Amino acid sequence: MSLMSTNVVTKNDSSIKERWPGAELKLTLLATWPDRSTQPAVQAHVSLLPPLPPPPIRCEFRGAPRANALAKSSSWVTSRSPLESLMRSGSPKINEFLLVGDSGSVPEGSQTNFYAVMNGVLHTAGEGVLAGTVRRLLLE
């Protein structure tokens, strides 16, 4: 049994190209199902990526990492909502909150992976973070 049967919009879809020509977009998929006896409901949301902020980028250490780093869950969106409100209202504006683990490590940001280069060596969390596409490419 297939979990999804839906039409997939591709990057060549003319309606996307016409509406947002040359823009970078964010695609969010949300799959939910109450139990194994029902088909999942899959919803897609497409939005423009915000423009990159001008340097310097301002970060603040605040908050704890996600409880389940194996998936981007809708509960994480709710959990980080107060941080996003602080980002929008801060003066000066904060671009990212770096989340601090129990041991004092910085495994990730509220919306980014975290990397540090020290003495020419790249450092990033080995586990306990979402293994995203950009992170995988950087580590290869």
Q: Are residues 42 and 66 in the same domain?
A: no
**Residue 2, in any domain of the structure:** no
Mean pLDDT of the 3-21 span: 60
pLDDT of 131 strictly over 50: yes
Q: Are residues 64 and 126 in the same domain?
A: yes
Q: Are residues 69 and 122 in the same domain?
A: yes
**Residue 4, in any domain of the structure:** no
More reliable by pLDDT, 58 or 130? 58
Total number of domains constituting the chain? 2
Q: Tokens for 73, please give them.
A: 């869950």
H/E element, 14: helix 14-19
81 φ/ψ angles, rounded to the nearest 5 degrees: -55, -45
pLDDT of 119 strictly over 90: yes
Q: Are residues 39 and 69 in the same domain?
A: no
> Residue 120 — pLDDT band, cuts 50, 70, 90?
very high
- Long-range Cβ contact pairs of 129-135 (< 8 A, separation 24 or more): 129/65, 129/69, 130/66, 130/69, 130/70, 130/71, 130/72
**Average pLDDT of the chain to the nearest whole number:** 77
**Residue 53, in any domain of the structure:** no
- Residue 87's nearest CA partner among 126, 57, 44 is 57
Read off the amino acid at residue 43: Q
> Residue 11 — pLDDT band, cuts 50, 70, 90?
low
pLDDT number for residue 6: 47
pLDDT number for residue 94: 86
Q: Are residues 31 and 64 in the same domain?
A: no
Q: Are residues 34 and 87 in the same domain?
A: no
Domain range for residue 126? 59-139
- CATH assignment of the domain containing 115: 3.20.10.10
**Residue 80, in any domain of the structure:** yes
Instruction: Return the number of other C-beta atoms located less than 10 Å from residue 70's C-beta.
Output: 11
**Residue 25, in any domain of the structure:** yes
> Residue 10 — pLDDT band, cuts 50, 70, 90?
low
